[in-house]
Amino acid sequence: MAPPARALRHGAGMPGRSQRQASSGSWRVLVPRNALPLLASDGRGRAPGKWAKDVAVLFADVEGCTRLCEDLPPREMNEVIERYFSEYLDVVRAAGGEITEVLGDGLLALFEGAGLEANVRAAFGAAIAIQARTRTLNKRRGPRHDAVTVNIGLNAGPAWVGFTRLRGRSGERWVYAASGPVTNVAARLSALATGGQILTTQTTARLLPAGCDCRFLGPQVLRNVTGPVEVVEIRPAATNRRRSDETKRRGRDG
């Protein structure tokens, strides 16, 4: 996501105050919220630098999107994606994060608050809320429609955060992103997940809230990731309640 190319051409500078005010409802919606302060800090049209930062990255991907695209007309499929992803945008922002990329049937959300543990817990809360919101949306669509299943990969650690500046003969394009293994692993975890799973790494799982229901899946080989990764499945609170109820029933029966 980036401001219009006109504002980003070399030497063009950022829009003046009157231009910014007039376009506040247009170009601002193209820029992730966490990138806006960087643009405001430099009025000369220069791409702000990148820096190392501890972040949590959430990748959400619609399972079986290829089949859904075959079953639904393109307009209806686009409406489904927009309806669900719009709800996810609210969830992510309420948790203190921002969606920085939408890639067809998937999205990337970035949490870059004050500390790594806080970022992980915010992303965890968003992941659980996304799955809950998905179930609600599926109920609204009714039994005549196939349920949408969203798989989530969650990872945290240092990343190179800021604008990537692309400069070619046709002009410039800025992209706000978090680069590095932390993002790659999150993407691979979402690809590994099935049936609405939320997967993370063992290292990231250690930063989750106490009592979080986690199931260790052991070392997994992720595509284009060097060495096996210790993968953990995060289970939603509903699973915790069901297991607790089953334990209580077994205690009474025993």
Half-sphere exposure of 236 (CA within 13 A, CB side): 15
Cβ contact 64:73 at 8 Å: no
Q: Could you identify the residue written with the tokens 């948790």?
A: 95
Examine the pLDDT at 32 and tell me if it is beyond 70. yes
Contacts of 13 (CB under 8 A, 6+ apart): 7, 43, 44, 45
pLDDT digits (tens, 9 = 90+) for 130-141: 999 999 999 998
Q: What are phi and psi of 162, to 5 degrees?
A: 145, -160
Q: Please tell me the predicted confidence (pLDDT) of residue 194.
A: 95
- C-alpha 150/C-alpha 152 separation (Å) is 7
pLDDT at 232 over 70: yes
Q: Please, which pLDDT band fits residue 247 given cuts at 50, 70 and 90?
A: very low
Residue pair 47/38 in contact (Cβ under 8 Å)? The answer is no
Beta strands 106-111 and 229-234: pairing type? unpaired
Three-state SS at 165: strand
CATH number of the domain located at residue range(s) 51-198 in this protein: 3.30.70.1230
CA-nearest of 201, 179, 175 to 190 is: 201
Could you tell me the residue ranges of all domains in the chain?
5-40, 51-198
- What Rg value do the Cα atoms of the chain yield, rounded? 20
Per-residue pLDDT, averaged over 29-56, amounts to: 74
SS3 category, 13: coil
